[in-house]
Structure 1
Amino acid sequence: MGPSPTDLPSRLLPSLEPWRDAAHWRIAFSGGLDSTVLLHLLAQLAKSQSLPALSAIHIHHGLQAAADAWPQHCQAVCDALGVPLIIERVKVLPGASLERAARNARYAVFNTLTEHNDVLLTGQHRDDQAETLLFRLMRGAGVRGLSGIPAQRPVGQGMLVRPLLNVSRAELEAYAKAHELSWIEDPSNQDRHFSRNYLRHQVVPTLTERWPQAQASMARSAAHLREAQGLLDELAQMDLAQACTAQDFAWLGLPSLAVASLAVLSPARQRNALGRWLEPLTRLPDADHWSGWSDLCEAAADASPIWRLADGELHRSTGRVWWLSGQWLRAPAIGADWQTPSLTLRLADNGSVMFSGAAPSGPLRIAYRQGGEVMQIAERGHRDLKRLLNERAVPGFLRGRLPLLFRGDELLAVANLPGLDGPAQGGWKLHWHPSGEDQGLS
């Protein structure tokens, strides 16, 4: 005999225990069975337990006529339970996957509304976990994807928590009927053109007919894979610690790794470490596109290979790989006259420059390397700029955007490079502050 629906409140409390000191619990309330039961459970628990302030969020996608009545239903349910409700209307952008577009619109709101020390609670359950595992298996997911829906993860400035992942849909239905709850049945949940609905209505019933414990078993497999992923993450952190070596251009604020530290690892271990490093920076390549990493590593020593990814590029230069995105991929404007050298000069797509000490006499201008530049160096005479940059092992991607200070045709300084950023006895230095843009995804 399975657990009674009356046991659900006591089963829910342990999974919520770590979050009892949160400032606010916000329930993502679609009005469907899962979130209706979750809302009711929490409202009932709040009568006997000291819980954070409760409120609900309903996202109105406006994708079908039936949905127009849902905000009113959700408001009535929340009013009856004494839980404040926020209703947010979103515009779902058209695309290849309507499911994904709706999810993106929904989570954009959740990210905005979840404040510091807030917890956003959602109603995914064990059946959802099994469907997710099957769906990702059909898409050829790796260990991370097959670890399923996580019980918690960051969202906005707080945490998203899924306290029902060990509860079956049948148990939620039993609870709803026992408490005479009413909920919305989304007509789109019957549309078997959607992959998840096909799995829910066609595949999972067939599996559970043959293996009654199939969903529980799949959830257990997902837990094993989550543990395996945790070990892979630990290994990646160890390998990245070896590759995040000190380097002379840390002031650029660009993520970079030493290639030699990665090259001694097996190919699978390289991909594991690099995938972990790239994850906050870009959408990761699929298995077929990891050949770009091999090409980057195997290029000739004097080459400057580039691996283009969804949200930026990896450049190999001076024994390192560098992550470039945003304005680092846009060529800076040719230059600008510096009318007021005592003030900071903002450069198009290239941060800003300023002097420390008294500025040299003018007229001054900032420009970028075109090739053939020569600079007068104390006790060395005239030297080609290319040679001077080589001596300082300046990465290739940086050479065309290092600000150069000219007076007429005379090259006076190269920003930020010791010995080239101003005269040895001159009392001034040229400082460049590269872009303040976030190098990762917003």
Structure 2
Amino acid sequence: MKMKRFFAEDMRRALLQVKETLGPDAVIMSNKKVNGGVEIVAAIDGDAEPQAPKAQAQPDKTEEPAKPANSLAEILARQAQHPAMANANEPPEAAPQATPQQNEQSIWQAQTDTVDEPAEPEVDVPDYVGGGSAAEIAELRAQIKGVQNLLQHQLSGLMKQEMEREEPMRALLTQRLMTMGISERIADQIACFIPEGDDIEDSWEQSLQLLEGQLNTTHDDILTRGGAVALVGPTGVGKTTTIAKLAARYAQRHGSESVALITTDTFRIGASEQLKVYGRIIGCPVKVANDAKELADAMLTLRDKRLILIDTAGMGQRDKRLSEQLAQLLQNKRLRIRPYLVLSSTSQTQVLNDTVKQFKTLPLAGCIFTKLDECLSLGESISVAIEQGLAVGYLTHGQHVPEDIRVADEHYMVTEAERLYDKSICSNVSDMPKSNWQAVQ
């Protein structure tokens, strides 16, 4: 089995390279997007050589003999075009029927002949397909698909082992970044740029610098620019506390008379009261808006404030009321509202991606990650921000107002992710029996 990696600007050009280099019998092992285009790994049997099909026995002079089918899909296509094809090759006398096991083996041979060698003409595949029921054909297709998936999985493992032998530094850095919580796609893209043969620690530092370069931040946009800002997000991520921290920080810089709070959270019991308490402590006004009209009126009343922070109701990303609440923010035309998505750094990657997908109906200005003091890994949050194209505005790490909030910084986020990774490694080592410490060290 010969395997080769191809790079091209798009999938069409990559497949053309595969066909020109390995021929039409090549099998695509994997494909993925990389910087500048796509990467395809293809394979072909190194011992397989094209063979001429065997001569047909006494073909009819008036008709050209049909070529043998190379796949089950081709057999079914011929059967659909020529319904009488199933009995076309039968001799006048009744031929002995093959057992189901023999027929299944014949069809499997027809399917795999596209890689190994041309199908034998004497295999009577059309007879079986024509006589089989739809359920039998579907079951056979499922079996073939299962075998193909198994072979692809095994060959992918061999390909990974080959990469580890040929590019050990890339494999090591990819695995280390993934252990830190970075997604496989981002980890592999970063590791691709690190030259082989460099010192491992220098290579690791280069990887972290490249990771920093992938992150974007808003550079303290809310507290420096002001305007109307709404914090949106699922329930329980800490939107109300984050608003209080931002309001208190702004009041410290510009005075409490320059900031105001609005809450649209009329679903949760005591939500508006909690924000009013923060407002009294900070010394700024707090308004409650039950619908889009009241929100517009409240913003008109507070138009002289330099910063208006809007607290929205926390809802699950699949809650039907979510679309109604987001529509309220989009309906306001008097003052442009910049929505910031609040996400918990303790959430799983799939949950974070699903949340971003649901809230992207809004023109998000950025995101805020909360609960950094509770998370065990920050790599997942970094990956979501990069893959979803979200600029990170602020990071919160506790309940204290206004102390436990900081402006997002690329270097700090990557450094914190590495610190949590090192902490987890040390924790795993300390939990080992002492007899295994020497092996780790």
Coarse TM-score class (shorter-chain normalised): under 0.3
Q: Which structure is higher in strand share?
A: 1
Is the radius of gyration larger for structure 1 or structure 2? Answer: 2
Higher relative contact order (CA 8 A, sep 6+): 2
Relative to the length of structure 2, the TM-score reads 0.27
